Structure 1
Amino acid sequence: MKNSPIYLTALLVATLLLSSCTNDHTADSAATTAGADANASTTHDMAGATHSAMDHAAMGHAAMGHGAAGASEPSPQLTAMNEMMQQMHATTPTGNTDYDFARHMLEHHKGAVVMADIELRDGQDATMRRMAEQIKADQQQEIRELTAAAARLKSAPANYQPENPADPFSSKMKASMDGMMQDLPQPATDPDLSFNQLMTVHHQSAVDMAQAQLAHGRDPQLKKMAQQMITAQQQEIQQFKAWHAANANKQ
Structure 2
Amino acid sequence: MPQATKPAPVLPPAHGDAREPLTHADAPSDPTTPRRIIATLREGVLDNSPVENPDHIFTHLLELYHHSGLDLAQAQLRQGKDPQLRLVADTLRHRSQRNLAQLGKLDLDQHSPGADFRSTSPTRARALQQVLQRVRRTLATPVKNNSPDQEFAAFLGLYYQSGLLLAGTQLRYGREVKQKDLAKQWQAAQQQEWQAVKAWQQATDTTR
- Residue identity opposite 1:186 in structure 2: K
Cα drift, residue 94 of structure 1: 4.4
Contact 1:98 1:218 in 2 (8 A): yes
Provide the residue aligned with 2:120 in structure 1.
159
What are the residue-to-residue correspondences of 1:212-231 with 2, within 5 Å?
Answer: 212-231=169-188
Which moved further from structure 2: 232-241 or 75-84?
75-84
CA RMSD across the alignment: 2.2
Separation in 2, partners of 1:119, 1:80: 12
Distance 2:50 2:149 in 1: 34
Report deviation, 1:242: 0.9
Name the aligned partner's letter for residue 74 of structure 2. D
Could you tell me how far 1:186 is from its partner in structure 2? Answer: 1.9
Partner residue in 1 for 2:83: 126
CA distance in structure 1 between the aligned counterparts of 2:153 and 2:55, rounded to whole angstroms: 30
2:103 equivalent in structure 1: 146
Quick one: distance in 1 between partners of 2:121 and 2:66? 23
1:172-183 equivalence runs, <5 A = 172-181=131-140, 183=141
Return 5+ residue gaps in structure 1 as ranges: 1-74
Correspondent of 2:70 among 95, 105, 113 = 113
Helix, strand or coil for the counterpart of 1:90?
A: coil
Please, which runs of 5 or more residues in structure 2 have no aligned partner? 1-31
Matches within 5 A, 1:1-251: 76-154=33-111, 155-156=115-116, 157-161=118-122, 167-181=126-140, 183-188=141-146, 190-249=147-206
Aligned residue type for 2:132: M
Query: Partners in 2 of 1:127 and 1:198 — Cα distance?
Result: 16
- Deviation string, structure 1 residues 157-190 (Cα, Å, up to 9, x no partner): 423449x7xx222212322222222x342222x1
Letter in 2 for 1:185: V
| Amino acid aligned to 2:46 | H
Which residue number corresponds to residue 8 of structure 2?
Answer: none
Residue 144 of structure 1 deviates from its aligned partner by 2.0
- What's the TM-score, normalizing by structure 2? 0.75
What displacement does 1:86 show? 2.2
TM-score, L = length of structure 1: 0.63
Q: Looking at CA atoms only, which structure, 1 or 2, has the larger radius of gyration? A: 1
Q: Aligned equivalents of 2:183 and 2:104: distance in 1? A: 14
Deviation at 1:93, TM superposition (A): 4.7
Q: What do residues 5-37 of structure 1 show as CA deviations (whole Å, max 9, x unaligned)?
A: xxxxxxxxxxxxxxxxxxxxxxxxxxxxxxxxx
Amino acid at match of 2:68: G
- 1:220-251 per-position Cα deviation (integer Å, ceiling 9, x unaligned): 1110110111111112111111100111249x
Report the Cα offset of residue 78 of structure 1.
Answer: 0.2
Q: CA 1:199–1:178 in 2, change beyond 3 Å: closer, same or farther?
A: same
SS in structure 1 at match of 2:46: helix
